[in-house]
Structure formats: C-alpha cells, structure tokens
Amino acid sequence: MGAYGYVRISRDEDGSKESISSQKDVIKDFADELGIELIDIIEDNDISGYSYSRPGINRIIKLIDDGVLDVLVAKDLSRIGRHNAKTLLFIEELEDKGVSLRLKSGNMDENMRGIQTWYNELYVRDISRKTKDALRTKQKNGEIHSPHFGYRKDPANKGKCIIDEEAADTVRLIFNLYLHGYGVNKIAKHLNEQKIPTPCSRKNALYGYHGKPEWQYKHIWHAESVKRILKNDVYIGVVRRGVTKRPKIRSNKLIKIAEDEQFVLEGAIPAIINKVVFEAVNATFTKRVINGVKAKSGAIYKYTGVVKCGKCGKNLVTVSQVRSYGRKKCYICSTYQRYGKAYCTGHSISHDGLDRIVMEQVESLYQSGLVKMDNLCKSIDQRQELNKDANKQIDKLQMAHQAKKTEIKNYSKQLAQGLINEELFREMTQESTKELERLEQQLSETKNLKEVRDHEKAKLAKALDVLRDTINRKELTHTDIVTLIDKIIVHERKHGRKSKLDIAVEWNIPFLVINEESVG
C-alpha cells in the first residue's frame, strides 16, 4: 500500500495561524495513529485552495496514474481544496481510482461532505470580498501598489511614490524624440542602441523583480512599450486606480473597468512630463493615425500629415529638391508624386517657406488676440454690472421656482382634505407644472450665460500665452504645429504662365470661437 500525505497553506486564507511544518507534524501523528507509514508528504506552500492548478495536486494525480498511490492523508477537506464543485469532483475521481482519502478532522460521509466543501468555498469568498473592499479603499485614497516606470516607492510612505530620476530621464527622452518626428519603432531602436534599461530591467535593479520566467526579451525595448509610455497620463501626475478587475476568484483574466467607475486622482504624484507636451504628443499620435503618417528610416517632419492638397485632399509629402544654391526640403502633393501631373499638380512649397508663412500668420493672430483682449478688458465694468444683474435674476428665478413647487404641494394637500376635486386638481397642477418647467429652463439659461462670460477672458489669456511663447522662440516646433494648427490647405492656381500658391491655415486656437459681440 502506497500512502502519501498532503498539506497546503495559503497566507491570505490562513494568515499566520499555522505553518506548513506544523501541518506536516499533524499529518505524521495522524498517520501513526492509523498505523500508516507515509512514503512522502506532498505540499503546496502559500497556494490558494480555490485553484486546482497546483504542483502538489498535479503530482498526486501523476502518482495515482502511475499506480503508486492508493492512500492519501490530509488534515481536512479545506486542505484538499476550497472550490466546492472542483473539490467534490476531485474526491469522486479518487474514489473511482480506488484511492482512500483519510482526514484528521471532518466528515467524509457522502451526504455531509457537500456541505463542508460549500462552507469551505464560502470562507474563501468572504476573504476575497474583504480583500477587494480593502483594496478599493486603498484605490480610492490613491495608494500606489506598483509604481509605473519613471517612479519608485517612497521610502517614507510605501503607499506613495517619488520620481526615479534615472528612469524619468528615459521617459522624457521618449517624449522628446516623438515630438521631433521619431516613430515608436525608431524610438525603440534608438533606446536599444544606447543600451538604455527597459522598465523590467529597471524594476529588477530596484526591487529584484525578474518578470515572467518564460519571457526571454526583458532587456529589449519594443514599439508597444514605447507607445504605452507615450499614452499614459500618469506622467502628468494622474493616478488611475481600479482600472481592471478579475471576473472570478483567483482568475488570471483581467477585464477593464469603465472609466467613469475608476478612481482618477489628478496631481496625486509629481509630474515627469509637462501637460502641454503630453497633450501635444497624443494629438500628434492621433493625427498620424488619421492621416496615415508612418515613420520610415528618418524622422517625420513637423508638417507631415498637416499640409493638405487643396485639389485632391491628399497629404503633401516631404521630398528633397536640388537647386542652384544646394539641396532643400519641400512638400509636394502625394498624388502628383505617385501618379504624375495627369492626376494632380505638385503644389510644391519649401519647408522654410511654409515656416515663414505660418509664423507670419501666428504673429497676425497674436495681434488680433491682443485687440480682442483689450476690448474684453474695456468691457469688464459692463460685465460686472451684467453679472450683478444675472445674480439678481438667478435669485429671483430660484425664489419663483421654490414658490411654484410649494404651490403644487398645497394643491395636493387641498385634494387630500377634500377642498378641491380631482378634475380641478389636475387642471391646476398641469398649469403650474408647465410654469415650473418654464422657470427651470430660464434659470438654466441664465446660469449658463453667466458661466460663459466668466470663462471667456481666461480662455483668451491662455491662447495668447501659447502664441506669445511661439513668437518669442522664433521657431515652430512639432508641439506648436499640433497645438496651434488643425490643418494647412495648399491651393495652386494659374497666374499667367506661372502658378501661384494660396495657403489657408485652419487653427485650433480657443479664442477664435469666442463671440465677437461678447467682447465688444
């Protein structure tokens, strides 16, 4: 007779109440009482009984299949497992194969063990619920469990994190390269050439984390890991907790939680990337996808995907043209380049020429904005009076709104007391309800008007700051192009024997949509 013992412990289930060694002692003493000599004691240390994918259980099944195990000794059914259905199926499989299961405690009666396995699962479900509740509380408070690349745990507070300057420099480099026209594949290649540590390598250096054992390329940067960094708003100080959850206990599968159910805390950690830069990068990312712009061997030029042909609507692409004074960079219609003049014209414009035109329009736009700001400031006194009137109007409407609600309640009381009949009640309440709806709409419109007036100056000032910064630098960057411009449309028209280009810039600037009447 081949007899084996089995012990299992899980820290989250059993805490520190019992060690694996003390459980082995209990099994040995019990086997001695039964007069059974154990060949070996199989263990699953710190493994949940809810799962049946356990090394110890797998070994037991193999020993049974090999015909060398016919007696299994355990402390109780909860050591065998805490999944009701799977435990019952496992016991049934043991019986079918002629294996005798001996338990130190518990009832092996067929009518009772179902109740015991159900109770054992109920226990682990209760533990799981309490763990989830505790985790949700930590998530709500913005506590950090595992810091993102670029951060490390705060030695003074393990629930917080601080910037890891070495990794943060890599994050800044990734954003900077992308803004200078590099694609995610080219960025990954550059990082690998410079032998810059990957997130997994850095985690290993900080905490001794080795990642998944089967993953052989922990030290290599990939385009996808670069993309994740570029799109992660944690680098502007936003902490998102409760982003995923497990649909079942001990499931390896994660499902994403709807964004409105997540805990989002802005400014919860120090930012590595400026918010303007982050938004510019992600706007660039979106535009490159929409416009089908892909990085090749070199960098993507800043106007690529932004400049459009006014005739066919396609992108203007970058080419190098040889002139008497040397080689220069130009943009020409992609349709013309691919299919020739039978399908479209070149619309050729030099990179430097486009820079000059856009910068001139930026300066013009800035001067226009200054005029609007001047008009806005001159009307501040009038606005203050309007706001006072608006506040009075809001107070008046709120009082009338409350009075109308009280009136409707009084009609209900009069009906209950028999002072009016149901027909008169319906007639009076219908009329009052219509008046109440009218007051609610008027109140909402008055509040919205006041809010628009209060925010116009702030929007205008912010837009002017962006333009002023661009003008002072005397240079248009990738960030400027994405922030300021939606698209540039180039039209080519005949002017005698020569062709002339008309450049139309469509802007993203917020103050362009401010009502002219509101600042006059």
Which two structure tokens, joined as six digits, stand for 42?
């199989």
Q: Let me know if residue 117 belongs to a domain.
A: yes
Integer-rounded Cα Rg, in Å, for the chain is 36
How confident is the model at residue 518, as a pLDDT? 36
Give residue 180's domain range: 151-280
How far apart (Å, rounded) are the C-alpha atoms in residues 10 and 249?
14
Same domain, 228 and 301: no
Q: Assign 322 to helix, strand or coil.
A: strand
Q: Let me know if residue 436 belongs to a domain.
A: no
How confident is the model at residue 489, as a pLDDT? 92
Same domain, 213 and 248: yes
Percent of the chain with pLDDT over 90: 17
How confident is the model at residue 236, as a pLDDT? 92
User: Quick one: average pLDDT of 357-368?
Assistant: 87
Q: Let me know if residue 518 belongs to a domain.
A: no
Give residue 224's pLDDT band: very low, low, confident or very high (50, 70, 90): very high
Whether residue 28 is predicted with pLDDT greater than 70 in this model: the reply is yes
User: Quick one: average pLDDT of 462-484?
Assistant: 83
How confident is the model at residue 393, as a pLDDT? 64
Q: Let me know if residue 269 belongs to a domain.
A: yes
How confident is the model at residue 139, as a pLDDT? 53
Which two structure tokens, joined as six digits, stand for 159?
């629930």
How confident is the model at residue 469, as a pLDDT? 85
Q: Let me know if residue 155 belongs to a domain.
A: yes
How far apart (Å, rounded) are the C-alpha atoms in residues 122 and 104?
21
Kindly write down the DSSP assignment for every residue of 351-376, as one continuous string.
HHHHHHHHHHHHHHHHHHHHHHHHHH
For residue 410, the one-letter residue type is: N
Same domain, 12 and 135: yes
Give residue 324's pLDDT band: very low, low, confident or very high (50, 70, 90): low
User: Quick one: average pLDDT of 223-248?
Assistant: 82
Q: What is the pLDDT of residues 421-449, one digit of tens each?
A: 777 767 767 776 777 677 667 666 665 65
How far apart (Å, rounded) are the C-alpha atoms in residues 280 and 175?
10
Whether residue 98 is predicted with pLDDT greater than 80 in this model: the reply is yes
Give 463 or 355, the one with higher predicted confidence. 355
Q: Let me know if residue 60 belongs to a domain.
A: yes
Give residue 18's pLDDT band: very low, low, confident or very high (50, 70, 90): low
E-strand ranges in 95-203 read 100-103, 151-154, 157-163
Q: Assign 194 to helix, strand or coil.
A: coil
Rounded to whole angstroms, what are the CA distances from 60 to 4, 265, 320? 9, 49, 71
How confident is the model at residue 388, as a pLDDT? 52
Same domain, 29 and 88: yes
Q: Let me know if residue 461 belongs to a domain.
A: no
User: Quick one: average pLDDT of 388-411?
Assistant: 68
How confident is the model at residue 516, as a pLDDT? 38
Give residue 517's pLDDT band: very low, low, confident or very high (50, 70, 90): very low
Q: Which of 63-67, 259-263, 384-388, 481-485 has the highest mean pLDDT?
A: 63-67
Give residue 77's pLDDT band: very low, low, confident or very high (50, 70, 90): confident
Same domain, 124 and 167: no
Q: Let me know if residue 407 belongs to a domain.
A: no
Domain end position, chosen among 249, 280, 311 = 280
Domain end position, chosen among 309, 332, 357 = 357
Same domain, 69 and 19: yes
Same domain, 295 and 263: no
Q: What is the pLDDT of residues 112-162, one digit of tens each?
A: 777 777 777 777 676 666 655 555 666 556 566 678 899 988 888 877 889
How far apart (Å, rounded) are the C-alpha atoms in residues 26 and 61?
23
Same domain, 168 and 254: yes
C-beta atoms surrounding 151 within 10 Å: 22
Same domain, 179 and 131: no
User: Quick one: average pLDDT of 447-471?
Assistant: 71
Same domain, 292 and 274: no
Check which CATH number belongs to the domain holding 51 and give it. 3.40.50.1390
Give the global pTM: 0.58
| C-beta separation of 281 from 316 below 8 A | no
Domain end position, chosen among 326, 357, 388 = 357
- Average pLDDT score over the chain: 79
Total domains, the chain: 3
Check which CATH number belongs to the domain holding 167 and give it. 3.90.1750
How far apart (Å, rounded) are the C-alpha atoms in residues 360 and 375?
23
| C-beta separation of 151 from 171 below 8 A | no
Give 389 or 262, the one with higher predicted confidence. 262
Whether residue 327 is predicted with pLDDT greater than 60 in this model: the reply is yes
Same domain, 274 and 299: no
Whether residue 45 is predicted with pLDDT greater than 80 in this model: the reply is yes
How confident is the model at residue 221, as a pLDDT? 94
Q: What is the pLDDT of residues 489-515, one digit of tens each?
A: 999 887 667 778 888 888 876 545 443
Q: What is the pLDDT of residues 269-284, one digit of tens each?
A: 899 999 888 988 888 8
Whether residue 300 is predicted with pLDDT greater than 90 in this model: the reply is no
User: Quick one: average pLDDT of 71-76?
Assistant: 90
User: Quick one: average pLDDT of 302-315?
Assistant: 88
Same domain, 69 and 127: yes
How far apart (Å, rounded) are the C-alpha atoms in residues 439 and 238?
40
Kindly write down the DSSP assignment for every residue of 372-405, as one continuous string.
HHHHHHHTHHHHHHHHHHHHHHHHHHHHHHHHHH
